[in-house]
């Protein structure tokens, strides 16, 4: 069994090997890379990404990234392609074939059929002198000096390089298309990521009550209103204008500072500079404001009019935090 120090050193070395493999890719961004980006930007069809073994797994990830950033893509397993899946390919598609060696039997069998389709073929390959590279219209060079595997066998540095090259391609396409965060949100409607990009304050605050009291409300009225609405706060209005907010914390401070509560009203204990947010704002912006100001609630406005309260628990329930 290796010692703790040995295990740490092995891990560090593996990471350093893979980091070097990725760093070396910057030397290999050439005209072929630029031409592939331009070709895809003007593509009428889709990007078909294929591979075998570990390269197939990388191909699936590249397809997922491209689809989520505005480039329609499909994964085609190299082994399945020659058993019917070649039907996936349409006339206007571009094909990216991923392989470390560029000479695996499945790739050598598949390439002639890909060439017959007349589609543009891109080799994302770790051997620029290989069969795949020679047959391709464009070559994206992902050569690595050494795998992170101690036997220099298991695909480690090579698959990391493939992944990084695919990400570089996707990011360039995203930038060239001016693909915005709003565009991104359209492709990510589910989960916390999507909610951060499209969920509005109104989507949450509209589900809550809209507690409010006049500035001359009694302590009893204040406590009852806060308790009934379960938002930990109530807005104080005068002539329909926001003049303050009273929170659970204000109630506690009142009890600490006043022995006699007789005659106290909302105007005596309210905070006079409540933090507000418009209901049209993204909910994630409400979270940022709460964190910056160390508060749990925000007054929600529609224009200049009071429209409710959003609580940090609303954000927790939606998984935004």
Confidence at residue 2, expressed as pLDDT on a 0 to 100 scale? 81
Q: In what order do the strands lie in the sheet with 297-302?
A: 276-278, 297-302, 305-311
Residue 272 has pLDDT above 80, yes or no: yes
CATH architecture of 201-317: Roll (3.10)
Q: How confident is the model over 234-247, as pLDDT tens digits? A: 999 998 899 999 99
pLDDT of residue 178: 86
Q: Please give the DSSP secondary-structure letter assigned to residue 155.
A: S
Using DSSP, state whether 167 is helix, strand or coil: helix
Q: Is 38 helix (H, G, I), strand (E, B) or coil?
A: helix
Higher pLDDT, 83 or 162: 162
**pLDDT exceeds cutoff 90 at 276:** yes
Mean pLDDT of the chain: 92
Q: Phi then psi for 34, rounded to 5 degrees?
A: -60, -45
Q: Which two tokens stand for residue 263?
A: 């005659």
Strands (E), the chain: 47-51, 73-77, 94-99, 120-125, 138-141, 212-214, 233-238, 241-247, 276-278, 297-302, 305-311
Alpha-carbon 289 to chain mean position: 21
Grade residue 193 by pLDDT with cuts at 50, 70 and 90: low
Residue 304 clears pLDDT 80, i.e. is over it: yes
**pLDDT of res. 194:** 66
Mean pLDDT of 219-228: 92
Residue 185: what pLDDT?
64
Judge residue 273's burial from the number of C-beta atoms within 10 Å of its C-beta, 0-12 exposed, 13-18 middle, 19 or more buried: exposed
259: tokens are: 């022995």
Q: Does residue 179 have a pLDDT over 80?
A: no
Q: How far is CA 80 from the centre of its chain?
A: 31
The arithmetic mean of pLDDT across residues 208-220, rounded, is 93
Where in the chain is CATH 3.10.580.10? 201-317
In the DSSP assignment, the letter for residue 42 is T
Whether the model pTM is above 0.75: no
Q: How do residues 73-121 score in pLDDT, each as one tens digit?
A: 999 999 999 888 999 999 999 999 999 999 999 999 999 999 999 999 9
**pLDDT tens track for 60-75:** 999 999 998 889 999 9
The pLDDT score that the predictor gives to residue 28 is: 95
- Helix (H), strand (E) at residue 56: helix 54-68
Q: Give residue-wise pLDDT tens across range 109-147.
A: 999 999 999 999 999 999 999 999 999 999 999 999 999
Structure tokens belonging to residue 149: 């595997």
Q: Which residues contact 43 (CB under 8 A, 6 or more apart)?
A: 92, 93, 94
Domain 4-179 fold is: Rossmann fold (3.40.50)
Q: Which residues lie below 8 Å from residue 27, measured CB to CB, with a gap of 6+?
A: none
Residue 30's nearest CA partner among 156, 93, 122, 135 is 122
* CATH 3.40.50.10490 domain locations along the chain: 4-179
């Amino acid at each position: 069994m290796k010692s703790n120090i040995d295990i740490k050193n092995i891990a560090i070395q593996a990471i350093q090997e893979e980091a070097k493999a990725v760093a070396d890719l910057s030397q290999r961004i050439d005209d072929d890379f630029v031409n592939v980006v331009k070709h895809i930007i003007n593509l009428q069809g889709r990007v078909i990404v294929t591979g075998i073994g570990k390269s197939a797994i990388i191909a699936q990830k590249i397809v997922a990234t491209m689809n989520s950033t505005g480039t329609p893509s499909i994964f085609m397993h190299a082994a399945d392609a020659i058993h019917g899946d070649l039907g996936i390919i349409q006339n206007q598609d571009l094909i990216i074939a991923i392989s470390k060696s560029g000479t695996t039997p499945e790739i050598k069998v598949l390439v002639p059929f890909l060439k017959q389709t007349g589609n543009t073929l891109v080799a994302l390959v770790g051997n620029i002198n290989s069969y795949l590279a020679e047959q391709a219209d464009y070559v994206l060079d992902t050569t690595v000096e050494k795998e992170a595997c101690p036997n220099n066998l298991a695909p480690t540095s090579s698959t990391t390089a493939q992944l990084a090259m695919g990400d570089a391609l996707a990011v360039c396409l995203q930038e060239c298309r001016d693909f915005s965060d709003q565009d991104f949100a359209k492709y990510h409607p589910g989960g916390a990521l999507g909610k951060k990009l499209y969920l509005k304050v109104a989507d949450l605050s509209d589900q809550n009550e809209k507690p409010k009291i006049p500035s001359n409300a009694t302590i009893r009225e204040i406590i009852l209103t806060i308790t009934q609405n379960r938002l930990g706060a109530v807005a104080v209005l005068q002539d329909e204008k926001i003049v303050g907010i009273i929170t659970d914390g204000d109630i506690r401070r009142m009890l600490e500072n006043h022995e006699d509560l007789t005659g106290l009203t909302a105007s005596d204990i309210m905070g006079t500079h409540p933090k507000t947010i418009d209901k049209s704002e993204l909910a994630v912006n409400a979270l940022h404001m709460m964190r910056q100001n160390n508060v749990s609630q925000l007054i929600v406005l529609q224009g200049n009019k009071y429209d409710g309260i959003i609580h940090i628990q609303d954000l927790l329930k939606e998984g935004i935090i």
